[in-house]
């Protein structure tokens, strides 16, 4: 797992990868203005601690500012809508589509969520298909299942 920060907040979260090199490449893809070292270290430490607590089931929310500046305007609208999904709840791709411009955009919502640079912070794992099936997840369906199990919602869905 890794975290990258920018002057605007947490810019990238990389969940466990198949290799350390892949995780490092993903983190280094964040191109942002430099932070003063003490600010960056403080935010990195805070992000890491909160993510570890969340994944251990000891925290339900992350009190971290997301940097969503790398997304398109549509992606940012989708990510902001996903931020409104509470812990332990799921919503459909269509639910988000209705909130960002129309129910017919469900497929585009899925693509935008797949580009989410800060999974867990922007809880795209809480978005499922209208029929209750899992849909997709940029970090893989096993990770989505684990996160939904942690939040107590997987048993309500078709997995």
Task: Decide if 139 is catalytic.
Answer: no
Residue 122 pairs in a beta bridge with 119
Which H or E element spans position 99?
helix 93-100
Q: Which of 124, 127, 139, 147 is catalytic?
A: 124
How far CA 87 is from CA of 8, 17, 45, 121, 135, in Å, comes to 24, 24, 23, 11, 18
- Dist CA 49 CA 132 (whole Å): 32
Catalytic sites, residue numbers:
124
């Amino acid at each position: 797992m890794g975290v990258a920060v920018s002057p605007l907040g947490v810019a990238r979260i990389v969940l466990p990868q198949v290799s350390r090199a892949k995780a490092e490449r993903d983190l280094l893809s964040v191109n942002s203005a430099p932070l003063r070292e003490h600010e960056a270290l403080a935010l990195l430490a805070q992000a890491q601690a909160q993510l570890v607590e969340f994944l251990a089931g000891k925290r339900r929310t992350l009190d971290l500012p997301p940097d969503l500046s790398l997304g398109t305007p549509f992606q940012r609208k989708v990510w902001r809508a996903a931020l409104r999904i509470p812990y332990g709840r799921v919503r459909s791709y269509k639910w988000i589509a209705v909130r960002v411009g129309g129910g017919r955009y469900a497929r585009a919502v899925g693509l935008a969520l797949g580009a989410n640079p800060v999974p867990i912070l922007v809880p795209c794992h809480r978005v499922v298909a209208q029929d209750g099936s899992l849909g997709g997840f940029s970090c893989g369906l096993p990770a989505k299942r684990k996160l939904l199990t942690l939040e107590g919602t997987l048993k309500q869905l078709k997995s």
